[in-house]
Protein backbone atom coordinates (compact mmCIF):
# COMPACT_ATOMS: atom_id res chain seq x y z
CA UNK A 1 0.00 0.00 0.00
CA UNK A 2 1.37 3.37 -0.97
CA UNK A 3 0.81 6.38 1.34
CA UNK A 4 1.84 10.00 0.93
CA UNK A 5 3.27 12.03 3.81
CA UNK A 6 1.23 15.15 4.57
CA UNK A 7 2.26 18.26 6.44
CA UNK A 8 0.37 18.63 9.75
CA UNK A 9 1.58 21.81 11.42
CA UNK A 10 5.37 21.50 11.60
CA UNK A 11 5.24 17.69 11.47
CA UNK A 12 4.61 15.03 8.89
CA UNK A 13 1.74 12.61 9.19
CA UNK A 14 0.16 9.63 7.47
CA UNK A 15 -3.44 8.50 7.46
CA UNK A 16 -3.81 4.84 8.27
CA UNK A 17 -6.55 3.28 6.14
CA UNK A 18 -9.52 1.82 8.06
CA UNK A 19 -8.88 -1.82 7.00
CA UNK A 20 -5.28 -1.61 8.27
CA UNK A 21 -6.44 -0.01 11.53
CA UNK A 22 -9.01 -2.80 12.03
CA UNK A 23 -6.54 -5.57 11.22
CA UNK A 24 -3.99 -4.18 13.69
CA UNK A 25 -6.50 -3.15 16.41
CA UNK A 26 -5.55 0.52 16.14
CA UNK A 27 -8.16 2.90 17.50
CA UNK A 28 -8.38 6.59 18.38
CA UNK A 29 -6.52 7.26 21.62
CA UNK A 30 -4.36 4.13 21.43
CA UNK A 31 -0.78 5.00 22.34
CA UNK A 32 2.02 3.62 20.21
CA UNK A 33 5.80 3.54 20.51
CA UNK A 34 7.59 4.90 17.43
CA UNK A 35 11.09 3.57 16.70
CA UNK A 36 13.44 3.80 13.75
CA UNK A 37 15.09 0.45 13.03
CA UNK A 38 17.52 0.18 10.13
CA UNK A 39 15.88 3.11 8.33
CA UNK A 40 12.35 1.77 8.86
CA UNK A 41 9.57 3.28 10.96
CA UNK A 42 8.14 0.79 13.46
CA UNK A 43 4.96 1.52 15.42
CA UNK A 44 4.17 -0.76 18.37
CA UNK A 45 1.00 -0.47 20.50
CA UNK A 46 1.83 0.33 24.15
CA UNK A 47 -1.41 -1.07 25.45
CA UNK A 48 -4.21 -3.07 23.98
CA UNK A 49 -7.79 -2.11 24.61
CA UNK A 50 -9.47 -5.03 26.25
CA UNK A 51 -12.40 -6.50 24.40
CA UNK A 52 -15.00 -8.25 26.49
CA UNK A 53 -17.74 -10.52 25.28
CA UNK A 54 -20.86 -10.98 27.37
CA UNK A 55 -20.96 -14.74 26.84
CA UNK A 56 -17.42 -15.26 28.21
CA UNK A 57 -18.03 -12.90 31.15
CA UNK A 58 -21.27 -14.65 32.12
CA UNK A 59 -19.51 -18.01 31.93
CA UNK A 60 -17.39 -16.86 34.90
CA UNK A 61 -20.43 -16.24 37.13
CA UNK A 62 -21.06 -18.96 39.69
CA UNK A 63 -22.67 -19.33 43.11
CA UNK A 64 -19.57 -18.12 44.95
CA UNK A 65 -19.23 -14.81 43.09
CA UNK A 66 -22.84 -13.91 42.33
CA UNK A 67 -24.77 -11.48 44.54
CA UNK A 68 -27.35 -12.78 46.95
CA UNK A 69 -30.24 -11.23 48.76
CA UNK A 70 -31.79 -7.89 47.98
CA UNK A 71 -29.22 -6.11 45.85
CA UNK A 72 -31.54 -3.26 44.92
CA UNK A 73 -32.48 -1.91 48.33
CA UNK A 74 -35.70 -0.21 49.25
CA UNK A 75 -37.42 2.24 46.86
CA UNK A 76 -36.36 5.87 47.34
CA UNK A 77 -39.05 7.93 45.69
CA UNK A 78 -41.81 6.85 43.34
CA UNK A 79 -40.19 3.67 41.96
CA UNK A 80 -42.33 0.57 41.85
CA UNK A 81 -40.56 -2.78 42.21
Global pTM value: 0.49
Per-residue pLDDT at 48: 65
CA-based radius of gyration for the chain = 24
User: Which residues lie across from 43 on neighbouring strands?
Assistant: 34
> Going by CATH, does the domain composed of 6-47 fall within 2.40.420.20?
no
Q: Which helix (H) or strand (E) holds 32?
A: strand 32-37
Q: Where are the domains of the chain?
A: 6-47
The C-alpha atoms of residue 32 and residue 7 are separated, in whole angstroms, by 20
Q: Are 6 and 12 in contact (CB under 8 A)?
A: yes
CB 15 within 8 A of CB 5: no
pLDDT tens for the 81 residues of the chain, in order: 899 999 999 999 999 999 999 998 888 988 999 999 999 999 988 876 678 899 999 999 998 888 777 767 777 888 776
Amino acid sequence: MKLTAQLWGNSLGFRIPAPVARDTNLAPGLEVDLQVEKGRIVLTPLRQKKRFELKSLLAKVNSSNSPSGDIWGAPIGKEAW
